[in-house]
């Protein structure tokens, strides 16, 4: 019998096929003969204690000139799927939170949900790196502006970022005596009503913000170093950074050894660690990317490795 794969994601029409990791997973599932059901957040619903979804099966092409084809529409119990992938991009807002609750009900009804809904709630992508203090740069999370001033005075140059952002959005690099520092703090903390993160600035960002993909506790042996564009401090590809493939260093492997067993134990089977220089800066678990770039650079099949690991759970 065919595997039934549900994928909760952003609209299929909006993704960039050549760069989208979710699309790579879908292509690999299609190659294996699985039925692929596309589900958006507003397709999910709870009825009499069970989670359902309006889903659409699809036929996919990796040729950007050919449209992906929707085949049939279904109303299905989510618990009836073999696997449900939660690949909706942040922000992790209340609607995302509610979706994880609905997915958890589907999980209890028999579906393998990846990544695990409870762990998606537990693991804030910015905060959770602090569970591994041996791996991270000096870091402050607060909404008190005086603490940020003390942190800047100690480290002289810092990065400030929101706890719910993605793609490099709303990230500021601030140096001592920056005349805009007070305004940045007011905006970022909403005048002391919102917690944000500050980290010591790492000049190694010029060599790239390295994305390391970890599948079921095992790292892909190469990372994607995302290098800031001229005049930029952010390496994110969404912020105009360029990409270079690199072999993982000894320090990278050490960081993975610290983090990966915990991720595996929490049911986070596909994660992306962000490393700048010698330091872990983020742990991405909602919809980590960069698989297609690494596949193209090193002749890998990261989606194949991922689906192999899923089949071991079925």
Query: Which entry of 82, 107, 282, 293 is annotated as an active-site residue?
Result: 282
Q: Is 282 a catalytic residue?
A: yes
Burial of 48 (0-12, 13-18, 19+ CB in 10 A): exposed
Query: Which entry of 88, 211, 266, 292 is annotated as an active-site residue?
Result: 211
Query: Which entry of 115, 124, 216, 284 is annotated as an active-site residue?
Result: 284
Rounded to whole angstroms, the Cα distance separating 135 from 243 reads 24
Query: Which entry of 35, 209, 274, 293 is annotated as an active-site residue?
Result: 274
Q: Is 301 a catalytic residue?
A: no
Query: Which entry of 88, 200, 210, 226 is annotated as an active-site residue?
Result: 226
Whether residue 57 contacts residue 72, with contact meaning beta carbons closer than 8 Å, is answered with: yes
- What's the CA angle centered on 68, arms 114 and 36, to 5 degrees? 30
212: nearest Cα among 259, 288, 291, 272: 272
Query: Which entry of 200, 234, 266, 292 is annotated as an active-site residue?
Result: 234
Q: Is 284 a catalytic residue?
A: yes
Q: Is 93 a catalytic residue?
A: no
Q: Is 31 a catalytic residue?
A: no
Q: Is 126 a catalytic residue?
A: yes
Query: Which entry of 87, 88, 116, 161 is annotated as an active-site residue?
Result: 161
Contacts of residue 238, Cβ cutoff 8 Å, sequence gap at least 6: 166, 167, 168, 169
Query: Which entry of 87, 126, 200, 266 is annotated as an active-site residue?
Result: 126
Residues annotated as part of the active site: 126, 161, 211, 226, 234, 274, 282, 284
């Amino acid at each position: 019998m065919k595997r039934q794969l549900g994928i909760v994601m952003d609209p299929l029409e909006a993704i960039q096929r050549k760069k989208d990791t979710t699309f790579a997973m879908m292509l690999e599932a299609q190659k294996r003969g699985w039925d692929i059901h596309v589900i958006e957040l507003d397709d999910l619903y709870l009825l009499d204690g069970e989670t359902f979804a309006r889903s659409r099966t699809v036929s996919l092409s990796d040729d950007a000139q050919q449209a992906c084809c929707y085949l049939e529409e279904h109303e299905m119990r989510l618990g009836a799927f073999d696997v449900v992938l939660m690949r909706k991009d942040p922000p992790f807002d209340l609607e995302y939170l509610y979706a994880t609750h609905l997915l958890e009900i589907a999980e209890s009804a028999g579906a393998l949900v990846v990544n695990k809904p409870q762990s998606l709630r537990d693991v804030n992508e910015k905060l959770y790196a602090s569970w591994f203090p041996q791996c991270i740069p000096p870091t402050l999370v607060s909404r008190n502006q005086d603490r940020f001033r003390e942190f800047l005075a100690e480290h002289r140059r810092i990065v400030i970022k929101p706890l719910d952002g993605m793609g490099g959005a709303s990230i500021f690099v601030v140096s001592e005596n920056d005349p805009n520092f007070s305004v940045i703090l007011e905006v970022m903390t909403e005048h002391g009503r919102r917690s944000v993160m500050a980290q010591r600035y790492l000049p190694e960002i010029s060599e790239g913000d390295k994305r390391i993909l970890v599948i079921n506790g095992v790292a892909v042996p190469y990372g994607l170093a995302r290098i800031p564009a001229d005049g930029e401090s952010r390496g994110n590809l969404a912020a105009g950074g360029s990409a270079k493939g690199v072999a993982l260093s000894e320090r990278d492997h050490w960081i993975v050894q610290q983090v990966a067993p915990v991720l595996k134990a929490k049911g986070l089977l596909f994660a992306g660690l962000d490393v700048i220089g010698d330091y872990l800066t983020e742990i991405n678990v909602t919809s980590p990317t960069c698989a297609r770039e690494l596949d193209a650079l090193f002749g890998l099949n990261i989606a194949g490795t991922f689906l192999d690991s899923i089949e071991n759970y079925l």
